[in-house]
Amino acid sequence: MILPKTNRLTNEQLAEVTQIVTEFGCKIQPIIGAVRTIYAIVGDERDELMINRLEGLDYVDRIDRIQSPFKLMDRRSDLASHRIAVGGVTLGEELFVIAGPCTIDPKNPGYFYETAAAVKEAGAHMIRGGVWKPRTNPYTFQGDTKSLDILMEGSRRTGLPVDTEVMEEAHVRLALDAGVTCLQVGARNALNYSLLRTIGREVASRDNVVLLKRSIHMGPINEFISAAEYIAAFGNPNVILCPRGTTPAPDGYRNHPDESITPLLKEKTWAPVVVDPSHSVGKAAYVPGAALAAVAYGADGLCIESHVSPNHGIGDDPKQALTPETLALTIRQAKQLWALRRTSAKATR
C-alpha cells in the first residue's frame, strides 16, 4: 500500500509508481477515500528492490505492508478512518435503517410507492426493493427489470436513496445507470468473486455503496471480510457488512441468527455492520427482537423487510415483512438502545 505525502498523487507521480511496480509484475489500484487516496499494490509486493525504489520517491510518505489477508478492510489499515455516508447518515454516528419490501411487484407498483412513503415516515434512511430475485425454486417469480423504474420512482417520490440486489454483471450496470445508490450482494452471491470484482470496478468511480450479505454457508469470519476486500481491492471501499443468518437453522427459524458475530467483525474490520434480522429469523413476529439483539451486539444499522400490506407482498413479504407501524416502533426502540449502548461504551472505555 502506497501512502503519498499529499492527499493524492499527481498524474505524473502515478505514472512513475505504475512504471516501477509494472517492472516487478504488479499493478496499482487507487482506492479513493473521502479525503485521501491510497494506492494498493496488486500482485506480489514482497520484492525488497521494488519497495526500496518506491520508498525512495520524495512524494511517498511510506509503504505499508499489513500482514493481514485483508489489507484494506483490516481495522489496522490506513482506511480505518474511512467513513461511509449514505441517506444523510454517517455510519457509526447514528443508527442507520434500510427498509422496504422483499420484492417489487411490477403489476402493483402502488404497493411499493405506499410502502416507500410509509417506511420513510417510520424513520428509514434508505428504501430497499428487490428488482431481480434469487429464488430457490425456478418456477417462482424471478423479478423483472421493469421494476427498476418503479424503484427509482419510489426514490424520487420520497427523496431517499435506494438499495437493490444485483445478481449478475448486467444488473450492476443497469442499476448504477438508473441511479441506484446501494448495490446489494445477496447471500447466494457473497462468494461469487467474479461478481464482487465487477462491482468493485464499476462502483469505483462513483459514490456508491455496497451492502454485502453474509453467505448462507459462510464459515470463518475472515471469509466474509475477504469478500468485502474483493470489492475494496477493485476500487470501492464503501462496503457495509450484513449478517443475515446462516444455515442450518434451529426449528422454527428461517436461518441461524448470526447478529452475535457483530463484535467479532468489529475486532477485525472497520467496515460498518448492518444486520438483516428479517432473513435471519424469517418470521415477522420474531424480527423486532432480533433487530434489538443486533443493536445490543453493536450493529451500526438494520435492514428490515416491511410492506404496507404484507399479505399482498410477493417474495418473502407475507411471512417476514413488518407493517410500517411495527417498523416504526422497532426503529424507535432500536435508536434508544443504540444511544444507550453508545453512552455505556464511552463510560466503560
Query: Could you list the residues that contact ligand PEP (CB under 6 A)?
Result: 102, 130, 134, 186-188, 213, 244, 279, 316
Closer of 147 and 269 to Mn ion (Cβ): 147
With CB under 5 to 8 Å by kind, the binding choice for 131 among Mn ion, ligand PEP, none is none
With CB under 5 to 8 Å by kind, the binding choice for 187 among Mn ion, ligand PEP, none is ligand PEP
Residue 78 touches Mn ion, criterion: CB under 5 A: no
Closer of 26 and 187 to ligand PEP (Cβ): 187
Rounded Cα gap, residues 232 and 30, in angstroms: 10
Closer of 152 and 187 to ligand PEP (Cβ): 187
With CB under 5 to 8 Å by kind, the binding choice for 307 among Mn ion, ligand PEP, none is none
Rounded Cα gap, residues 79 and 87, in angstroms: 21
CA-CA-CA-CA dihedral for 251, 241, 187, 322, to nearest 10: 60
Total residues contacting Mn ion by CB under 5 A comes to 2
With CB under 5 to 8 Å by kind, the binding choice for 186 among Mn ion, ligand PEP, none is ligand PEP
Rounded Cα gap, residues 239 and 84, in angstroms: 8
* Position among 229, 259, 276, 316 found at the interface with Mn ion (CB under 5 A): 316
CB of 313 to ligand PEP, least distance (A): 11
Residue 185 touches Mn ion, criterion: CB under 5 A: no
Residue 102 touches Mn ion, criterion: CB under 5 A: yes
**Residue 178 CB contacts under 8 Å (≥ 6 apart), including other chains:** 148, 149, 151, 152
Closer of 187 and 232 to ligand PEP (Cβ): 187
CB of 253 to ligand PEP, least distance (A): 14
Query: Residue-wise over 247-266: b if at least 16 C-beta within 10 A, else e?
Result: eebeeebbbebbbebbeebb
CB of 134 to Mn ion, least distance (A): 9
CB of 97 to Mn ion, least distance (A): 16
**Residue 196 CB contacts under 8 Å (≥ 6 apart), including other chains:** 185, 227, 230, 231, 234
Closer of 132 and 297 to ligand PEP (Cβ): 132
Cell numbers describing residue 157: 417520490
Closer of 71 and 128 to ligand PEP (Cβ): 128
Q: Is 303 left (phi over 0), alpha (psi -120 to 50) or beta?
A: beta
Closer of 40 and 187 to ligand PEP (Cβ): 187
How far, CA to CA in Å, does 3 sit from each of 40, 77, 245?
9, 11, 37
Which one of the spans 120-128, 141-149, 168-176, 313-321 is the region binding Mn ion (CB under 5 A)? Answer: 313-321
**Residue 342 CB contacts under 8 Å (≥ 6 apart), including other chains:** none
Residue with cell 489499515: 77
Rounded Cα gap, residues 78 and 71, in angstroms: 9
- Residues of this chain that bind Mn ion (CB under 5 A): 102, 316
